Chain A
Amino acid sequence: MATTQLNQLPAPTFSWLGVNGTAREISDDLADEIVIDANDHSVSKIEISQSANVHINGGKEPQFVIEHLHAENAAVKTTIHAESGTHVKLVQIITGGAVIADLQADLADQAALELVQIYLNCADAVSAITVNMNGRKSVFTSNIGYAFADENALDINLNIVQNGKKTESDTAVRGVLRGHAKKIFRGTIDFRNGAAGASGTEQENVLLLDETVVNKTVPVILCAEEDVAGSHGATIGQIDPKHIFYMQSRGIPEAQIYEILAQSQLGSVLKQIGDTETEQYAAALLGREEQDA
């Protein structure tokens, strides 16, 4: 085991906030190698229960890969090479214990990556997502959802590097925190010099359901190019007490109210999965987590 620095914020800030990065011990065990080739079209579903390296190579046909990572203690690295004009969609459902997920993607000219990630109450999840948009007119869209409760923790570092001209990125993050859950979301849009005509948006919406949660949000824009349009936003807060009162007045028990709220908060992310079976599976997992919480 070796201690490794993870999720370093591309532009560090006030040290006392504790958001500049984290550290974990990572096992030196050999990881499984899984390759999804450009010729493997239609839907590829992968169950991962131990450390693995997953390689996805975009081809002429759209790639649709669903990873379900459910491990007690594992580090999984997924790399995506999307060649010119290719389209890759990756859905990751991440559950379990201590999980380290690392996603690195390179997008060539007019390549598109669609990412859907759902994190459900892992004991300790650390996730790094780096998307290098080197190709002209490459497109990255992501929908990220999370529901965490108990003493569990989530640490995400999303870094979108827009190098290519007229690249587009759009990130939507929706989450629910309960109990003593802790979450850090770092989301960086990095417009590099030369990325003329690029645009990037990022929005996080966090629903806090208990007074003991800890939510940290760091939405960063780095900009070295004049001709870009970037924006980010975050809304963090409670559910309107009037809504809870209304549902209680209709006879819905409090535990079920929270389940409904969590489902509705993550509903728009679940809908982006695009595979009915996986969507139902994720919805069932979400419902179970909320009942347990």
Chain B
Amino acid sequence: MKQKTQVADIDRSLYDFRYDEDAADFLSSGITPEIIREISEEKNDPDWMREFRLKSLEIFSRTNMPIWGPPVDGLDMRNIVTYIRPKSRMNTDWNDVPEHIKETFERLGIPQAERESLAGVGAQYDSELVYHNVRKEVAESGVVYTDLESAMHDPKYAEIIRKHFMKLVPPTDHKFAALHGAVWSGGSFVYVPAGVKLEIPLQSYFRLNAKGAGQFEHTLIILEENSDLHFIEGCSAPKYYEAGLHAGCVELYVGKGAKLRYSTIENWSKNMYNLNTKRALVEEGGRIEWVSGSFGSHVSYLYPMSILNGRGASAEFTGITFAGEGQNLDTGAKIVHNAPETSSHIDTKSISKSGGISTFRSAVTVHENAVGSRSSVSCESLMLDQISRSDTIPAMDIRTDKCDIGHEAKIGRISDDAVFYLMSRGMDEQSARAMIVSGFAGNVSKELPLEYAVEMNNLIRMEMTGSVG
């Protein structure tokens, strides 16, 4: 008789600490024109941005929820606080950051990572950036890494922001893109001049501390011709019983011959609705690489999109999703081939356990003009027990004959033969299973910087502890 696997819940003590907020810092919950005007006033928006917010609110009000994907019934927008006034202005020295916020980021290891392995760091706490800094030599190379709102008010960058802001992800894209357009706050602006190649990554970390709140940061990255950047994004929140909402937006412009790697380790708490939108526009010979680990959230809708807009542009998406108890994670990628000789590759793994639901969803579209293009999609799913669920929903829309498109998917359980083999080499069953799952996730961990790969493998190891019963 088969022995069923008992998988322990993830140890979230690293992320499940919190500090009480002062109620006076909260704007009223819900989404109304008055609240939008209030946010706009708090942020001293230029006129065009205030109008943009109000227009987005109109779009939000008339746009229906998607007819596909996980249910979001538990999310009542009337109860979500969309903006929390900051306790601190943005700083460039950790010593100037309020003590409890500094302690939060220290417990998450951000200042240490900055000292050891990053070219620059941005840290957002609830609605606003509290810290932003970039190494002197990086700044001297012409790289701009600052918060989006400062850039919007800086005459040097104001026009660039206006030209690019929500042009890749317009508010009409879907209901939560419209919401983002109305209430966005915080986020980063990165500009890498032509020919500049950063050897070490930049990182933004987003922490949502407040109960029943939303985080709506906007990340805008522009890479000029032949530049090179690795950008890392991390996020977490403590767990509350009330639903939280993350509806961020990431817009990436990858210039001719430029290369951008965008890595994310998402570890929101399990009361969060993660309705995030990420999109990249890649010009001739440019390359976008997405590395994505989805471990947290109650519900996720996350499908980074790459628009290959110039001849020879390429995209690669490498991702893993780990859905445990109470989680319904709907993740994947979208690729649009919109120029000749473009290429793309999607490689994803998903793991479901303890009643978790993991869905891989993708779309590859090849337009008439994308002659000579190639695309391959590979997705593998691992079921760890009888009560979980794993679905694979890829779609391909091909409109030229001069292309080569491949897709493959597999679903199954941990092979008894593989466990038996490892045990015959002296391993106990639990270690054997943990090793197989870590190997299964190897496509992602080998793409991450060492310290992040170690963190991801630790998360997997914790999940698998006590996995034999």
Q: Which residues of A contact B (CB under 8 A)?
A: 11-15, 17, 19-20, 191, 193, 206, 208-238
Contacts and interface: CB of A to CB of B under 8 A. Distances in A.
B386 A215 contact: no
A238 B406 CA distance: 12
B371 A211 contact: yes
Given A233-B407, A237-B405, A238-B402, A227 B413 contact: yes
Going nearest first, the 7 A-B pairs with the smallest beta carbon separation are A208-B401, A12-B68, A237-B404, A236-B405, A226-B383, A234-B407, A233-B408
B393 A220 contact: yes
B443 to A, nearest CB: 18
Contacts of A225: 383, 386
Contact of B368 (A15, A17, A211, A234): A211
Contacts of B410: 229-231
A14 B68 contact: yes
10 contacts: A15-B67, A19-B397, A213-B398, A215-B396, A218-B393, A223-B411, A233-B407, A234-B405, A237-B403, A238-B403
B395 A216 contact: yes
B381 interface: yes
A221 B391 contact: yes
Contacts of B394: 218-220
A211 B402 CA distance: 7
A215 B403 CA distance: 12
B226 interface: no
A216 B396 contact: yes
B175 to A, nearest CB: 12
Contact of A214 (B334, B393, B399, B408): B399
Given A15-B66, A221-B409, A226-B383, A238 B404 contact: yes
Contacts of B407: 217, 219, 232-235
A223 B361 contact: no
B392 A221 contact: yes
Contacts of B393: 11, 13, 218, 220
Nearest to B408: A233
Contacts of B426: none
Nearest to A190: B391
B407 to A, nearest CB: 4
Contacts of B404: 235-238
Nearest to A209: B401
A175 to B, nearest CB: 12
A14 B308 CA distance: 19
Given A12-B67, A220-B391, A226-B388, A236 B412 contact: no
B68 A233 contact: no
Given A215-B396, A232-B392, 14 more contacts: A14-B363, A15-B67, A215-B399, A217-B395, A219-B407, A226-B385, A230-B412, A231-B408, A231-B409, A232-B409, A233-B409, A234-B396, A236-B396, A237-B401
Contacts of B386: 193, 225-227
Most buried by A among B66, B67, B405, B411: B411
A232 B408 contact: yes
Nearest to A201: B410
Interface of B: 66-68, 334, 359, 361, 363, 365, 368, 371, 381, 383-386, 388-413
Question: Which of B392, B393, B402 lies at the interface centre, i.e. has the most chain A CB atoms within 10 A of its CB?
Answer: B393
Contacts of A191: 411
Contact of B398 (A209, A215, A227): A215
A212 B368 CA distance: 7
B390 A223 contact: yes
B398 A236 contact: yes
A221 B402 contact: no
A11 B360 CA distance: 12
Nearest to B357: A224
Contacts of B363: 13-14, 17
A235 B364 CA distance: 13
B84 to A, nearest CB: 33
Contacts of B368: 211-212
B395 A17 contact: yes
Contact of A219 (B371, B389, B398, B409): B409
Nearest to A226: B383
Contacts of A223: 381, 383, 389-392, 411
A223 B390 CA distance: 5
B282 to A, nearest CB: 20
Contacts of A234: 396, 405-408
A217 B390 CA distance: 20
Contacts of B66: 15
Nearest to A186: B395
A124 to B, nearest CB: 19
A13 B67 CA distance: 8
B356 to A, nearest CB: 12
Of the candidates A209, A211, A218, A221, the one having the most CB atoms from chain B within 10 angstroms of its own CB is: A221
A20 B411 contact: no
B142 to A, nearest CB: 38
B409 A228 contact: no
Contacts of A14: 68, 334, 361, 363, 395
Nearest to A9: B393
A229 B395 contact: no
A263 to B, nearest CB: 18
A241 to B, nearest CB: 9
Contacts of B371: 211
Nearest to B399: A214
Contacts of A20: 67-68
A88 to B, nearest CB: 28
A145 to B, nearest CB: 19
A148 to B, nearest CB: 13
Contacts of B381: 221, 223
A238 B383 CA distance: 36
A218 B395 contact: yes
A217 B406 CA distance: 11
Nearest to B378: A233
Nearest to B360: A221
B396 A13 contact: no
A215 B396 CA distance: 8
A208 B371 CA distance: 12
Contacts of B334: 14
A19 B409 contact: no
Contacts of B411: 191, 221, 223, 228-231
